[in-house]
Chains A and B, each alone.
Chain A
């Protein structure tokens, strides 16, 4: 009985997702969604991947990382090297991007995750900057000028697939025993360790998965926006992602997604007033932290039940 209803729900989800995918694809092919909206759509998907993956580290594991843009850079550069310089297909670029970013996350995570709270934050900030400075000094990838004229390979199916993949990985992970172990680190690291959980291992695990997904986002970004350069991935970019995570709620995947959408839309609307955008960011950060330190969604998730109620008691 239970299994059956689970299966039915699963089928509905697949149907809804497929319908959404086809609908958007239809809009794109018929030109209803012009280039400008396609760009914003891509930004939304990429920001969702970034926010959801950073939320895994900052929200669920409780380790404040300020170097997410660094992993995005690693993924972007790795994928571009594969597709543009070594002539590999996009999928190879994506896989290499994920692997390279995950490796970066591992190398950085193992030593630094011993640090706590704000020391970790500063260390990750510093490491993100080191990644950027290093890329600036590598002539193979054109140093500060970056790589121009990257072939556009990120299309709607890829964006959609990557976004669904990211959300699935994070949601499935969090709702498993591994996820509970990760969350327990946030709740009380000492107690978690004493309950037999190898906290270092799970911190690194979350960090590596988060980095990997950021790498995926970087690859998507690089092959959509034609150009990458080290400056794009400075610590302001990391803060951008942090704002989404904090706004949505540390520890809420749905929150991160909603915030990513909201912030992307806000950025588009405020295109001509960048100073105001940043002041808004600042106020959002401060006000949310003061009045709702857990973010808009807290660590709650938006579930179908809530929607059911809104739509008229359909359960």
Chain B
């Protein structure tokens, strides 16, 4: 009865401790197994990506791209005379898991970590990388504050990325809508449950206004919505000549389909979240005509490097590489460039070298790392034409 309460606590905490140790032993055994590889002059590369959870498809594709790059590099003799050894782990699309995985990867003596994909998950991983002074290269984290410490405004020394940032995409589409499509009245219908959708919308609004356009309405939807007709009907009543829909393809595809069904024929634009074959299969060829999105690269690009990459990727995985695959590929290539510049497989030296990279030729464009560790690179506008992605314009910042 009550007398026992305190001792119960004591016993419990002992048990807790024992269990923790048991769990610990299990992990330890695993570690030694992996470390056996170290002896053969390997450079361990952590790949901490979303293989399950909300954005599993992004993580999977980025991982495939990264593994392709590693395979190619190893085949051509490796870096600094050593082979790259990928250590792949799943962060389940959550920030705390990303953090835990990073800590586990640190234990595997990695020289750098690729991933995670979303800005939130990168933020979870960031402190561990900073504490341990190991560079993190984010393939697709586009939030503006990923590489910068929010409080001090200082650049995070060990955090890098190969993608352009949200403000850039929003600005790009606003320019395109105003200049190329001659839009005057735009409606924004954004995924407001993600920072991505909100960020793009914010910068679109800003630039579109500066270009003399008017935002006649701002609406939002949330992740996993499937029925958009109520809001679309409302938007139809606003008579816009352009609709900006920054969001991910799972929602955007049915959204566009429903918009066309309701008789909305004006051009619709979005961001790199649209890049998926599901866009065409869900919305249909016809509905997608007259829609545009900003992207990192186009697999239709005739640039010889891109063509080579697309062929290799198709041969290995039997699927079209999307932007995430290309970014994953570029993240590894950027790291390799850094290792070559640093002339050592040392994380701290690698970070210093990465910060200085100029005019690196990636699949997703020529990039230079700026003082905020963002790549300065071009973006493309892709148009859907009868179900095919066609590159419309390449815009240099």
Contacts and interface: CB of A to CB of B under 8 A. Distances in A.
B-side interface size class: 35 or more
A136 B143 contact: no
Interface stretch (B98-106, B250-258, B318-326, B345-353): B98-106
A-side interface size class: 35 or more
A157 interface: no
A265 B97 CA distance: 13
Interface in B257-273: none
Contact of A226 (B16, B89, B126): B126
Contacts, number: 185
A92 interface: no
A13 B6 contact: yes
A302 B7 CA distance: 10
Interface stretch (B18-26, B232-240, B331-339): B18-26
7 contacts: A225-B95, A226-B126, A227-B123, A257-B15, A271-B100, A274-B51, A303-B11
B20 A37 contact: yes
B2 A176 contact: yes
Given A12-B7, A226-B123, A268-B23, A40 B12 contact: no
Contacts of A304: 4, 7-8, 10-11
Contact of B20 (A17, A142, A261, A303): A261
Nearest to A272: B90
Given A232-B96, A303-B8, A303-B11, A143 B107 contact: no
A292 interface: no
Given A16-B14, A145-B120, A175-B1, A268 B27 contact: yes
A149 B150 contact: yes
B192 A143 contact: yes
Contact of B9 (A17, A41, A136): A17
A254 B6 CA distance: 12
B78 interface: no
Contact of B13 (A17, A84, A144, A221): A17
B205 interface: no
Interface string B200-233: 0000000000000000000000100000000000
Given A13-B7, A262-B19, A144 B124 contact: no
A143 B198 contact: yes
A302 B193 contact: no
A119 interface: no
Contacts of A6: 3
Contacts of B311: none
A172 interface: yes
Interface in B1-60: 1-17, 19-20, 22-24, 26-27, 51-53
A298 interface: no
A271 B150 contact: no
B5 A152 contact: no
Interface in A1-30: 6, 9-10, 12-13, 16-17, 20, 23-24
A271 B2 contact: no
A254 B5 CA distance: 10
A301 B4 contact: yes
Q: Interface of chain B, helix or strand or loop or mixed?
A: helix
A271 B101 contact: yes
Given A13-B6, A269-B23, A274-B52, A227 B120 contact: yes
A253 interface: yes
A164 B119 CA distance: 35
Nearest to A257: B12
Contacts of A172: 5
Nearest to B149: A149
A307 B89 contact: no
Contacts of B194: 144-145
Interface of A: 6, 9-10, 12-13, 16-17, 20, 23-24, 33-41, 43-44, 48, 84, 133, 136-137, 142-146, 148-149, 152, 163-164, 167-168, 171-172, 175-176, 221, 225-227, 229, 231-232, 253-254, 257-258, 261-262, 264-265, 268-269, 271-272, 274-275, 301-305, 307
A147 to B, nearest CB: 9
Given A20-B17, A268-B27, A149 B5 contact: no
Contacts of A175: 1-2, 5
A77 B75 CA distance: 49
B19 to A, nearest CB: 4
A37 B23 CA distance: 9
B316 interface: no
Interface in B105-142: 106-107, 119-120, 123-124, 126-128, 131-132
Contacts of A10: 6
A20 B103 CA distance: 24
A48 B15 CA distance: 12
B295 interface: no
Contact of A168 (B9, B24, B51): B9
Nearest to A137: B192
A175 B19 CA distance: 27
> Which of the listed residues B12, B100, B124, B131 has the most CB atoms from chain A within 10 Å of its own CB?
B12
Given A164-B13, A171-B8, A226-B99, 10 more contacts: A9-B6, A23-B17, A34-B103, A143-B198, A145-B143, A225-B124, A226-B127, A253-B8, A258-B12, A271-B90
